[in-house]
Amino acid sequence: MQFGRKKKPNIDGINLLVSILVCYPEIGTISYEPKEDALHFAFALQEVPPRQEYEKAGELIRESILTYHSIEGFECDGRIEIYLEGQGHTAFFHVIRDIRTISQGEISMISTIMREQFEKTLIVDPDSRPDDFEFDLAAHENAIDHMIGTLKISRVTNRMIGIREEGRVLVFNK
């Protein structure tokens, strides 16, 4: 055991979380959990939705993921976990996906479904995606796919959490 030595951050992992939060302002927080080898997405809602609405959205996301994988030509045998966590008047809609079977297209699809299903209550960061000509969504999406591929190959041991704070994206390496 060595004391005083910090874990070296995984740059691809950090860049992945930053890129996802920049590209998808619907996502409130994202974390990479190395013990589960999974990405945890949290979407913040201004109010706790009725149970029927939450269950309908959850089932739509689950079925869409399975259909997406079927269209892409492979079976999704990975983890798909969806749950709602209420905290006072705010709710957090969680989607957990294993890194082994997730893709950028799937993340985009989940974000779109959340925006459509909870358009009035979903908290979206208006400052997260730059509107200027320098922001190239396609380039960021390609980078996300590349970084996901890298994480599938190389084992990352650090837990990482990406959050939004006052128009900025912060990533913590734990």
Strand order in the sheet with 160-165: 80-87, 90-98, 38-45, 29-33, 160-165, 168-173
Residue 6 lies in a domain: no
Residue 155 lies in a domain: yes
Q: Could you tell me the residue range of the domain that residue 58 belongs to?
A: 14-173
Q: Which pLDDT does position 55 carry in this prediction? A: 96
Residue 4 lies in a domain: no
Those residues whose C-beta lies under 8 Å from the C-beta of residue 59, and which sit 6 or more positions away, are none
Residue 23 lies in a domain: yes
Q: Which pLDDT does position 32 carry in this prediction? A: 94
Q: Which pLDDT does position 162 carry in this prediction? A: 94
- What number of other Cβ atoms are within 10 A of residue 157's Cβ? 9
Residue 51 lies in a domain: yes
- What number of other Cβ atoms are within 10 A of residue 96's Cβ? 17
Query: Strand, helix or coil at 8?
Result: coil
Give the DSSP H/E element, type plus range, for residue 84: strand 80-87
Residue 7 lies in a domain: no
Q: Which pLDDT does position 1 carry in this prediction? A: 41
Q: Which pLDDT does position 3 carry in this prediction? A: 47
Our count of domains for the chain comes to 1
Residue 9 lies in a domain: no
Residue 155: exposed, middle, or buried by beta-carbon count in 10 A (0-12, 13-18, 19+)?
exposed
**Which stretches of the chain score pLDDT less than 50?**
1-4, 133
Distance of CA 29 to the CA centre of its chain: 7
Residue 8 lies in a domain: no
- What number of other Cβ atoms are within 10 A of residue 105's Cβ? 15
Q: Which pLDDT does position 133 carry in this prediction? A: 44
